[in-house]
Amino acid sequence: MMKSSPVNLNKARKEKSRDRAKREADENSARFGRSKEQKELAARRAEKLRATLDSHRVGRDDIKDG
């Protein structure tokens, strides 16, 4: 009969918890995550919108007393 080595229950519990968290993170990433291309497209659109709004901004110099 062979003797098995003792198992540290705290270590086993923490490992199981880490595995579960990693699995949930992977599932959420697949479900809700955005690809790099999608993030870059959103950033380009936001920059273009900001530039358009800035170009139409009325500054103090443009206000006429009248």
Report which residue type is found at 50.
R
The pTM of this model reads 0.48
Within 10 A of 8 (CB to CB), how many other CB atoms are there?
A: 10
pLDDT in tens, 24-62: 999 998 888 888 899 999 999 999 999 999 998 887 665
Helices (H), strands (E): how many in the chain? 2, 0
One-character DSSP codes across 1-42? -PPPPP--HHHHHHHHHHHHHHHHHHHHHHHH---HHHHHHH
**Of all helices (H) and strands (E), which one includes residue 45?**
helix 36-55
